[in-house]
Amino acid sequence: MNTTGLKNDNIVALVDCNNFYVSCERVFNPKLNNKPVAVLSNNDGCIVSRSQEIKDLKIPMGAPGFKYEGLIKKHGGTLLSSNYALYADMSSRVMEVLALFSPEVEIYSIDEAFLGLNGFKNRDLENFGKKIKRTVFQWTGIPVSVGISQTKTLAKVANHFAKRYSAFQGSLCLLDDERIAKALAKTPVSEVWGIGRQYDKFLRQHKIETALQLRDAEDKFIEHYLTSMGLKTVLELRGYACIDLDEAPANKKSIVTSRSFGKQVSSLNDLQEAISEYVTRAAEKLRKQKSVAGLLMVFLSTNRFKEGPQYNNSLSTTLFPPTAYTPELIKTALNLLDDLYLPGFEFKKAGVMLADIIPEKDVPLSFMDTNYLDDKRKKLMEAMDKLNRTYGQDTLFYASSGIKKDWKMKRAKLSPHYTTHWNDLPKVK
């Protein structure tokens, strides 16, 4: 086996929420516990989150919801629309709890986070992982799995075993060389973080079928065929930390907001309402990271799977000076839409993209009085954002976004916004 560099006392934990969307729904509706529950994608399409009971029925991830609805109901289960506001809020609550266990937290996705545990080597990490799991569940109601090891890649492996085998009680610490080797020998190479299906076939052709065999492969072979990133993955499997913990992910360089419509849309008025709402959401994200955008794009597309005339196009314009002022962005987007729109087409999807994003602090002082950073405009946006965060999305909204919004994506099975809308707050009887 090759060795490169020096091992250190690096320790990292991966905390992964179990069946996250389903778990969020169960927190506020205990009647769903121990029953088959699946959450659907946009427009109530495919299954994107499955309870264990759904998995036991051999219903695959990504399957069309309508195809299995009868089977699920037969077993006393239910299908639900995606409640993104609820999931985002519950994710924030989980991450706040995790921050109590380590000053180093990398939010990897809506339901995963890495914790830096350097300096924790002399602690009982087996019990520490179980404490994380227990506390997150007690404080949020969300079950999690915890994997602890020397690197992020090995923590992924540990987490996988913690989740799969009940004997570990949802938490596994892999620091012993022998235990690591046994775990890697049981891990298919396709399940290694950073490898996946992309290289699975190639590696199997070269008799590398497990994570252990990958770990023990020659450096030159790996770097030649899997590039330097592949070599980093292999070194991580050997216990050398090559992938840093990113405590503060970089601000987005572009922000895209788009949705497939709940029904085919052909009228300009409906498209104007949709584009106005998408701009509003994108601008909120822009301001949240204290940035401004220098480019705005609007795009439209028909349903390529449906017979009939097709039209897919986009238009963009520079924003000078760069801005995050929603009324200005809406006005610009609607002007682009007027030029982009063609009658006689049934549109399936529309969206906006904000690009050329820079921190608001980098805007030249000479532009301060002519853009959103002007005192009145900025205070207005801050007040609007605060009200919508406090009382629920669209408590205040722009008239151009419409009221009925018949074009909105289909969510016939949507649960209440338990944590983000006053009227939906659970009532204690």
Q: What is the CATH number of the domain that holds 43?
A: 3.40.1170.60
The residue among 193, 147, 192, 140 whose CA lies nearest residue 170 is 147
The conformational region for residue 344 under phi > 0 = left, psi -120 to 50 = alpha, else beta, is left
Residue 358 domain-assigned (yes or no): yes
SS3 318: strand
Q: In this structure, are 268 and 146 located in the same domain?
A: no
CATH of the domain at 362: 3.30.1490.100
Whether 162 maps to a domain, the answer reads: no
Contact between 157 and 239 (Cβ < 8 Å): no
Domain boundary, last residue among 109, 131, 150 = 150
**What is the Cα 151 distance to its own chain's centre?**
22
The pLDDT value recorded for residue 3 is: 42
Answer whether residue 368 is part of any domain.
yes
Domain that holds residue 81: 18-150
Query: Which pLDDT score, from 0 to 100, does residue 371 have?
Result: 54
Last residue of a domain, one of 150, 177, 206: 150
Of 150, 176, 200, which residue sits at a domain end? 150
pLDDT at position 227 is 86
Cβ pair 114, 245 in contact under 8 A: yes
Angle at 152 between CA 130 and CA 125, to 5 degrees: 25
Q: Is residue 125 part of a domain?
A: yes
| pTM score above 0.75 | no
**pLDDT at residue 194, rounded to an integer:** 83
- Total domain count for the chain? 2
pLDDT in tens, 139-151: 999 999 999 999 9
Alpha helix positions (H), 7-83:
20-28, 52-56, 65-74
User: Do 392 and 262 belong to one domain?
Assistant: yes
- All residue ranges of the chain with pLDDT < 50 are 1-6, 368-369
Give the whole-angstrom CA distance, residue 66 versus residue 225: 42
| Residue in 206, 259, 362 with CA at minimum distance from that of residue 42 | 259
Pair (145, 274) in one structural domain: no
Is residue 277 a part of any domain in this protein?
yes
